[in-house]
Amino acid sequence: MAGKKRVVIVGGGIAGLGVVNTLVSKAGDLVDVYVITRDRYYVGGPTRPLLLTNEEEYGRIVRGYENVRNINLIVGSVVSIDPGNRVVNYSETLYGLGSRSINYDYLVIAPGVVYDGSSIIGYDKYWWRVANVYDVGRVHVLKDWVWKLNSGTVVVYAPKAPYRCAPAPTETALLIHTVLRHRGVRDRVRIIHVDANDKTQPPVIADVVKSIYDKAGIELITNQEITEIGDGEVVTKSGERYKYDVLALLEPNRAPSFIKEAGLGTDWFEVRSPTDLRSPKFDDVYGAGDAAKLPYPKNQEIAFESALFAANGILSDLGVDEKVNVQYAFVGWAYVGNVDGRLETNSVQFGFDYTQQPPKPMKDPEPKRDYTLQKDRWMQTYLSRLFSY
């Protein structure tokens, strides 16, 4: 239909599809939605750590876009944006050669994060010694190492916050403990968690995690930033050295560099406020999800809520009165493994309500199996809601 506004969304993940979902349902006649995303599939994050213990399977968390209706899907990797001329440039990655451009009336930037190890000396040479639960292509490498390890040292590392999914490093350490205990080799393996922050993240459950670490015999070293990687050893800023056989290191996180190069932020996409996700410089460019600079944790609920705020902004501009109800708040679950080595992970529940000042935290410090099952249902509901509605 002539006169439709073209909305281009960069990133077909939680935030990108959150925007799609809202715009299509509230203003389907007024917009043509294009989603540019890097792959023909999406792999969910939150239950991914359970691949380590065989409690999750890839097949349950991978989704294609074939059932996402009313969008034009472009599989490509965005390389630059020219917000002055309303142009997005992308390359066709694995699925074709050359580069292409697309114009927009509204742009939503939701590409998630980049795991950037370039500030770590030796990372360019020894990146292959690193595997973590974040990298979808390498979580099985970590799993393989952990299931074959019979003795030695595992180093788990969390960089300075903010990074995506605050508890994933502690989840990693406790799930590795669980597997090693299950295999009967835990007594011959040291697990050291080095953390660049003063507490494990999120701070609200740091005390609970510490007491489980004590029971599991996991050594915790805080306030130590890893600045160098060698073949079998890491070095921290203050010169401490830790030998490793398995290195489950999360690289420092940032938004993709095309955001900075377009003048839309530095490490993260700059927004006007958490509820007004427009760029301070451009009325027609919005940020959403983990790439956006928000004063909240980078997790799925916050990513989705930011997407709804961004969609509401576009709806306002289009003159649509009906908006979606949204507030910043979340309840989440952190895996704490199973100290006794049964492959039945327990979880701790925690959350924040940011509508209250000061923001109201909540937690249940008692690890429960039921929370692990709740997290699974929550994740599957997200995937159904966004990928096959």
Q: Which residues bind ligand FAD (CB under 6 A)?
A: 10-16, 36-39, 42, 45-46, 48-49, 77-78, 110-112, 133-134, 164-165, 168, 256, 289-291, 298-301, 303, 332
Q: How far is the CB of 79 from ligand FAD (least distance, A)?
A: 7
Comparison of 13 and 186: residue with beta carbon closer to ligand FAD:
13
Comparison of 14 and 68: residue with beta carbon closer to ligand FAD:
14
Rounded distance between C-alpha atoms, residue 262 and residue 144, angstroms? 40
Comparison of 42 and 286: residue with beta carbon closer to ligand FAD:
42
Q: How far is the CB of 271 from ligand FAD (least distance, A)?
A: 13
Q: How far is the CB of 150 from ligand FAD (least distance, A)?
A: 26
Comparison of 65 and 126: residue with beta carbon closer to ligand FAD:
65
Residue tagged 């077909």 (tokens): 12
Comparison of 39 and 92: residue with beta carbon closer to ligand FAD:
39
Q: How far is the CB of 238 from ligand FAD (least distance, A)?
A: 28
Do residues 333 and 375 make contact, with C-beta atoms less than 8 angstroms apart? Answer: yes
Q: Cα–chain-centroid distance for residue 279?
A: 22
Do residues 288 and 256 make contact, with C-beta atoms less than 8 angstroms apart? Answer: no
Q: How far is the CB of 231 from ligand FAD (least distance, A)?
A: 26
Which uninterrupted H or E stretch holds 286? strand 285-287
Q: How far is the CB of 243 from ligand FAD (least distance, A)?
A: 26
Q: Which residue is nearest to ligand FAD (CB)?
A: 13
Residue 147 CB coordination number (10 Å) = 14
Q: Going by C-beta distance under 8 Å and a sequence separation of 6 or more, which residues neighbour residue 151?
A: 185, 188, 189
Residue 356 CB coordination number (10 Å) = 10
Rounded distance between C-alpha atoms, residue 277 and residue 87, angstroms? 19
